[in-house]
Every structure is written in C-alpha cells, then in structure tokens.
Structure 1
C-alpha cells in the first residue's frame, strides 16, 4: 500500500513539474476579427493567429498586408472563405479573407492591413486593420533550424508557395 502511494506521489510530482515547465503546453489558436483592430494582444510563442476580415474582391477592393517582423510572426496562410449560406462560386458575393500567422519568437510585431483598390494611388484606404502582438516564450525549434526569416513566396492567386531548398 505504501509503495503504491509513493509511486502515485512520484507520478503526480512528475506531471506537475512537466506542466509547470510548459512541456505539455499546446499551441493556442486565437481568432481575430475587424473588431480587434487597434488592440495590443499578449500571446506566446507557438500560438497561431487567424485573422478573419470581410471582403468583396469583385468590387476591386482587396486587403494588402505589410509583412510583420519574421522573427516574431510568420504568415503561414492566406485564403478566401464563402460566408455561410452563400452558394458556392456565387459571383459578386462578399467573402471572408483569412490570414494565418504563427507566433515564432518572442518580441513585438505589428500586423497592418489596408483595404483598397490597388490602382487608386494617393487615396485613403476604405478600411484599415492594425494590431500589435507581444509574444513571450522562447523561439520554436523550426526557427532555430531556419533563422533566415525569408519572406514567403506568394503565388498568382495569393497563396503561399512552398519553399524548396
């Protein structure tokens, strides 16, 4: 009986130690919308940010993103999604533009986007979105292996292209 109690105590202490060290910390997914513009967001290395913004590319307007500090945030994806209830491939329907970022290192980085028609130079954007990300924690293993911080290649349809070495 005493032996089983001692084994259980050691097991519980081991689990407690691992949790307090962050070994079992899962990466969190934070969903941001237009309402989050202007905020300062506290996050941790390993988290994923999903930014969902309303758009209607058929009007000529599109979101353009100034890439953030690659040591803190990396853009990992960019896509459009139909609004619920919209028939698939319905021309002219509003959609949601989704940007995905990985928090890859500690520090501060801003995300700034403008919603405008690319050919209308010298005019104010119809909408803007900006947020400051403050990340704590240590760099991920991937960033230690690839510290280049290269800007990802973007294909003709706005998708992130894989990088070949």
Structure 2
C-alpha cells in the first residue's frame, strides 16, 4: 500500500488514494497562540497518528507542525476536515477540506 503525503496546498481538490493507503497531513501550528488543529475524520478513515512535530528544546515560540496520519479503510469519497481553533472557542480561525477519492486496493503488480 502507498504512503500519500498532503499539505495545505492539497486542500479543496480531490486526491486519489486506495484502500489500505496511509495518508499523512502536515500543517503549520503556532504553539504560543493557543490555536491547534482539530480534525473531523469520516467513517472510512482510521486515525493512526495525531502529533505535534518540530518542537526543539531552547526554541520557545518556534512554529511547529501538526501531523495526522490516517489509513483508508473503505472505498468512496471521504472528506477530511481540519480546523485551526482554540479549544475554548467554538469558531475556527480557518478551515481546510481534503477530499480523498478512495478506490479499491490495488495489487502490488498493478502499481
């Protein structure tokens, strides 16, 4: 199965994937503002990893990134939503929609 990497530039348009693929999404996350990414993961995707990366000792306030990795478990159209928001606020500062068009799993010979 394939590893597919996405960034904020991939938001909006459909991305073709297959059942069994792992999709990783990496988004910038400002650590000292209280804003974090929250996910709306549809049925058909299974969360494997949700972590902050890029934190360095001795570099307070340095921008980090949030990494989400999901496995595609069923075929179909899956809309993964990322919202940058503060946990204590209802409204999101920004929203990104990622559309995954998942086909049936391909055999190793078919890739």
Report TM bin, short chain: 0.7 to 0.9
Counterpart for residue 38 of structure 1: 12
Q: Please, which runs of 5 or more residues in structure 2 have no aligned partner? A: 106-111
Q: Which has the higher helix share?
A: 1
Query: Whole-Å Cα distance in 2 between the matches of residues 128 and 37 of structure 1?
Result: 10
Counterpart for residue 92 of structure 1: 61
- Whether the 8 Å contact between 1:82 and 1:88 is mirrored in structure 2 is no
What's the Cα RMSD here? Answer: 1.6
Q: Please, which runs of 5 or more residues in structure 1 have no aligned partner? A: 1-26, 139-165
Query: Whole-Å Cα distance in 1 between the matches of residues 58 and 27 of structure 2?
Result: 19
Counterpart for residue 82 of structure 1: 54
Once superposed, which parts of structure 1, at least 4 consecutive aligned residues long, lie more than 6 Å away? none
Q: Which has the higher strand share?
A: 2
**1:102-159, CA deviations, whole angstroms, 9 ceiling, x for partnerless residues?**
01121121100110112223x4x22211111111115xxxxxxxxxxxxxxxxxxxxx
- Verify: 1:136 aligned to 2:103, yes or no: yes
Higher RCO (C-alpha 8 Å, min separation 6): 2
Deviation at 1:78, TM superposition (A): 0.8
How many residues matched?
A: 105
- Verify: 1:113 aligned to 2:87, yes or no: no
Whichever of the two has the greater Rg, that structure is 1
